[in-house]
Amino acid sequence: MADINAKVLVVGGGPGGYVTAIRAGQLGLDVVLAEQGGKNGGLGGTCLNVGCIPSKALIHAAESFHHAVEQSRSAPLGIKVERPTIDFPRTIEWKDGVVGRLTSGVGALLKRHRVKILQGRAEMIDGKSCRIETDTGPQVVRAEHVVLATGSVAAALPNLPFGGKVISSTEALALDKVPERLAVVGAGYIGLELGMAYAKLGSKVTVIEALDRILPVYDAELVRPVARRLKALEVDVLTGTRAAGLSDNGLALEGGRSIAADKILVATGRRARLEGFGLERLDLTMNGPFVQIDERCSTSMRNVWAVGDLTGEPMLAHRAMAQGVVVAEIIAGHRRVFDGGVIPAVCFTDPEIVTVGPSPEEARKAGREITTAQFPFQANGRALSMAAEDGFVRVTARADNHLVLGIAAVGAGVSELAGAFGLALEMGARLEDIGGTIHAHPTLGEAFHEASLRALGEALHI
């Protein structure tokens, strides 16, 4: 086939890649997107196909089933349910349907903005050209600009390679039945999100964490409600414990112990996808296990850009999307830089955790004089009306001028507050700005309002 010439070649169809391509197409650029493929064509990447979206669908289904089970045991809301059951294959089918609708939507958006999609394994020839193995044969694309968006893969453990009963989050989202006994190696957000979901579906779950506490990237104050919920769900949590490998009946631990398990979910993090696309043919400066970029997302090679998980932490879809927009606009001639100072992080455990900006301790370590306060959901009417009162909203601000530095929350549904938290920091809000904003009643957002008032010594409902 004849070579294709384009202004922009995007390698990878995940959140960073497809958003780069869409925005570049909106700006009138000639764009080719290469995506290796896989289930549902691969568009949307790990996040849409085997990550963010399907995991949240499974979490929602698990929560719905668990509520029904609880109502069968007692009826505090007056709702009586008898012997609920779950058709798990049908649950997975529903989850796959959600994913399918969204991947189809991504494909339609790319086509609307005249992005040429090439399905197949892409391998860079040099910094300007790429060979793509399509179903109809090899296709060479030559482009003025190359955007690398190859994402990340689940990190395996040497003593627990994936296969058989040892699964990654990808396989955990496509099981044909709920495992009777599930061991989860790693108490980060992936392990706990899926571990709690399967506990609600009926699995006996044991979590193994090498460090001395769960969710180590979050401060202890935010983690306590999650720890309480794990205990209520009868999830066994073993901290300061390392997995040693497989045993006859499941998982062997260092020290000679073992845990009975039908499936072993290894959720010890993700690593950048550096293999399989010809990275070795590019003269790129690396930042440890990641491709090094500057504030414009440019690499050490002229007109070669990189976005998303390939470029390091935080490995978040919304970070990749924001980087993709910046790169597309720079290529189109706009003056842009990527400012990653305000990136919300959400943990979809039960209860949920959301953070934007530093914690009080992090702010103090940075030399800040701060004021901080929290407002508990036990004093929030909406939380009480949802029977979900465990948790709080916390604000951290400078002591001198009350500029808000960080906001965090833990509680049911608090992920939906992430936008308000991020906007407050981006707009340079002070405590008085939040306290002076009328928040709708009754909503969880009132706890944000009240936490700010409390930091000012003006709390109304506590």
H or E element at residue 306: strand 304-306
Q: Supply the pLDDT for residue 40.
A: 45
If you count DSSP H runs as helices and E runs as strands, how many of each does the chain have, helices first? 13, 24
Q: What is the pLDDT of residue 1?
A: 79
Across the beta sheet with 352-356, what order do the strands follow?
A: 345-347, 352-356, 404-411, 392-398, 370-376
125 within some domain? yes
Give the 3-state secondary structure of residue 164: coil
Looking at the structure of the chain, the number of domains it has is: 3
> Which one-letter amino acid corresponds to residue 312?
G
The residue written with tokens 């085997």 in the block is 50
Whichever domain contains 359, its CATH number is: 3.30.390.30
Domain-embedded: residue 344: no
Quote the pLDDT of residue 150. Answer: 97
In whole angstroms, what is the distance from residue 441 CA to residue 434 CA?
A: 15
Report helix angle 15-26 to 88-112, nearest 10: 30
Distance CA 223, CA 351 (A): 9
Residue 22 region by backbone torsions, left for phi larger than 0, else alpha for psi between -120 and 50, else beta:
alpha
| Measured distance CA(342)–CA(332) in Å, rounded | 25
Residue 450 forms part of a structural domain? yes
Count the alpha carbons within 13 Å of 368 in the hemisphere toward its beta carbon: 22
pLDDT of residue 257: 94
**Any idea what the CATH number is for the domain that residue 235 is in?**
3.50.50.60
With H, G, I as helix, E, B as strand and everything else as coil, classify residue 271.
strand
Q: What is the pLDDT of residue 15?
A: 97
Distance CA 50, CA 317 (A): 13
Whether residue 62 is found in the same domain as residue 41: yes
Active-site residues, by number, are: 441
Nearest by Cα to 270 from 151, 148, 172? 151
Say yes or no: 385 and 446 in one domain: yes
Residue 336 lies in a domain: no
Looking at the DSSP assignment, which residues form a beta bridge with residue 353?
A: 347, 410
Domain that holds residue 387: 351-455
Whether 428 and 378 have beta carbons less than 8 Å apart is answered as no
161: in domain: no
Q: Name the DSSP class of 456.
A: T
Which of 247, 268, 289 terminates a domain? The answer is 268
Helix (H, G, I), strand (E, B) or coil at 43: coil
Quote the pLDDT of residue 37: 76
Q: Is residue 339 part of a domain?
A: no
State whether 380 and 444 are in the same domain.
yes
CA 27 to chain centre: 28
Structure tokens that stand for 1 in this block: 């086939």
Q: What is the pLDDT of residue 76?
A: 86
Q: Are 23 and 114 within one domain?
A: yes
Task: Round to whole Å and give the CA distance between 312 and 314.
Answer: 6
- H-helix or E-strand spanning residue 250: strand 250-253
- What pTM does this model have? 0.95
Report pLDDT for 38.
Answer: 60
217 and 240 belong to one structural domain: yes
Q: What is the largest CA-CA distance in the chain?
A: 71
Q: Is 106 helix (H, G, I), strand (E, B) or coil?
A: helix
Averaged pLDDT, groups of 10, the chain, 462 residues long: 95 98 98 81 89 97 96 89 94 96 96 97 97 95 98 95 96 97 98 98 98 96 98 98 96 95 97 96 97 98 98 97 98 97 97 98 97 98 97 98 98 98 98 98 98 97 95
264 and 276 in a common domain: no
Q: Is 391 within a domain?
A: yes
Note whether 252 and 313 are same-domain residues. no
Which pLDDT score, from 0 to 100, does residue 41 have?
53
CA distance 384 to 401: 34
CA–CA separation, 259 and 269 (whole Å): 21
93 shares its domain with 134 = yes
Residue 252: C-alpha distances to residues 174, 181, 248, 320 (Å): 25, 14, 8, 37
Same domain flag for 84 and 173: no
**End-of-domain residue from the set 268, 285, 310:** 268
CA 412 to CA 418: how far, in whole Å? 13
Q: Are residues 144 and 176 in the same domain?
A: no
Shared domain for 222 and 370, answered yes or no, is no
Give the span between the Cα atoms of 344 and 297, in whole angstroms. Answer: 19
Domain identity same for 21 and 146: yes
- The three-state (H, E, C) secondary structure of 324-349, written as one string: HHHHHHHHCCCCCCCCCCCCCEEECC
